[in-house]
Amino acid sequence: MSLLSFCQWLQSTDFFTAIRGSWYVYPIVMSTHLAGIALFGGMIVVTDLRLLGITMRKRPVADVIRQLRPLKWIGLAIIATCGILMFGSKAEEYYFNTFFRTKLVILTLLGVHALVFRNRVYRRAAEFDTTGRIPGQAKLAASLSLLLWTGMVIAGRGIGYIEPPIGIHAAIPGPYRSMAPPVRYSGAPAPAADGGGSATS
């Protein structure tokens, strides 16, 4: 079974067909994804900025890292679950989406980042507090983390801007709505009056 046919099978399951068929489930899942980023993403930023010596300088590095770790894992679980739900409901469209592929590559790099720096930096934070000096390696880890997570945001937002290949939805049961928002820039044709189904307003 190829990856593409797996994606086609996945989105045709009853569960993901139901998600796709409801007008409100997909936006609720997306909102929860973004709410997770809001409540827990700031913890990544704060940890990285602490390692860079920019914020919370009066608090021990080890305190910041150790105390935020469990919450960050909870956040990741919420965000990833919502991400999988969004992917599954439109798996074929995501499969072709360049920004989604980019996001998966960045996610893999974040995994490599964790493998490389966990023991070298994050589990040695107490040493930094004892010596009062944050080594260059820790600052490198923090900078890369900020860079990669910024990339995740950009790639994530980019997903919604790519039109799916024409005709890939023919086999999908139930209503289907592209993730791509109405085009706004003046170089393009004017959006349709009912673009995005605003008939309720």
- Interaction site with other proteins (CB under 8 A): 23-24, 26-28, 30-31, 34-35, 37-43, 45-46, 49, 55-56, 58-59, 63-64, 67-68, 71, 150, 153-154, 156-158, 161, 181, 183-188, 196-198, 200-201
Virtual torsion, Cα 27, 7, 148, 140, nearest 10 deg: 140
Distance between CA atoms of residues 180 and 163, nearest Å? 6
Helix intervals (H) in the chain: 3-12, 14-21, 25-51, 61-89, 91-96, 98-117, 125-131, 136-159
Q: How far is CA 138 from the centre of its chain?
A: 24
CB of 67 to other proteins, least distance (A): 5
Distance between CA atoms of residues 41 and 36, nearest Å? 7
